[in-house]
Amino acid sequence: MSRHPLLTRRAFIAGVGATLAAATLPVVSTSVFAADAHAREFRIGYQKAANTLVLLKSHGTLEKRLAPLGITVKWTEFPAGPQLLEGLNVGAIDFGYVGEAPPVFAQAAGANFVYVAYEIPTPHAEGILVHQDAPIKTLADLKGKKIAFNKGSDVHWFLVAALQKSGVKYSEIQPVYLAPADARAAFERGAIDAWAIWDPFLEAAKRQSNARLLADGEGIVSHHQFFLSARSFAQQNADVLAITMDEVGKEGAWVRGHYSEAAAQLAPIQGLDAGVIEAGLRHYAHIYKPVDASVLAEQQHIADTFAELHIIPTRIVTKDAALPASKV
């Protein structure tokens, strides 16, 4: 944790604000903000498992901060990061929170977004599950096995990295692309050998299914989470994003001091036991920093690996998805 010191609110907002303020390239925006200054709407995409944003939505503090500026907030739920970024790409939302792999897939598909901030590493928040009595004891034992995961999500990269570390080629497994709910059903009926998944679904399966954790991300991946914005929106609305990240930072600080209370609030929203949610919450850092060169370099490594494996159709430069101040 020493590599990622906890920023003060002032330092964090100054960093994000400086990055956003540097975005001065002329663009033609399709944002509601540009269309009607008297009816401004900030559209946020979120996932039910994205705890900080879910709590921010529930607490309503962002709405209170933006109301004096004449801005309303519209929240749209997505099942996972890839779908959220599709929404960003087609102009349905202005801002969202996803993991490390979805931005790589989206950039390879031509999405015009920018990295705004990231959560410091949370490697324990994703893992590979096998059945309790399975003969699979090591990552190398996954060779030839059917492994379920959400295509284009964080665990797609986690699985690739875990296989590489164990000497198994990606082409030597049988990928089964399933969303979390469908993957759990397939796992429980024995239709797949292993399941790569993130929290809180990971913790729920460990406690409620015949599941054994084969490995989490520790020593394999950083597992960053990212806040992203449509490029045109970020260039024209730096103040809105700075306020948003200020509220996100405060929400994260509140979670770190109130795990049980946060879990109790999330339980009816996420439809999971509060104990499961609290365990999952503790696997995340809830500490956010402005995007910098080191984290972009990690994203570049993911992109290069995916390109080499033909998981994405073309090579990309992750710095191209950073605002000017982040290009260091």
The per-residue DSSP string of 195-228 comes to: EEEETTHHHHHHHHSSEEEEEESTTT----EEEE
Residue 113 pLDDT level (bands cut at 50, 70, 90): very high
Length of the chain: 328
Specify if 299 maps to a domain: yes
Do residue 105 and residue 233 come from a single domain?
Answer: yes
Mean pLDDT over each residue of the chain, to the nearest integer: 88
Looking at 159, 184, 216, the residue that finishes a domain is 216
Do residue 198 and residue 65 come from a single domain?
Answer: no
Given a cut of 90, is residue 132 above it in pLDDT? yes
pLDDT at 80: 86
Given a cut of 80, is residue 48 above it in pLDDT? yes
> Residue 299 is part of a domain; what is its CATH number?
3.40.190.10
Helix axis angle, 259-270 to 51-59, nearest 10°: 90
Do residue 94 and residue 235 come from a single domain?
Answer: yes
pLDDT at 325: 57
Specify if 228 maps to a domain: yes
Name the nearest CA neighbour of 121 among 287, 258, 278, 291.
287
Given a cut of 60, is residue 146 above it in pLDDT? yes
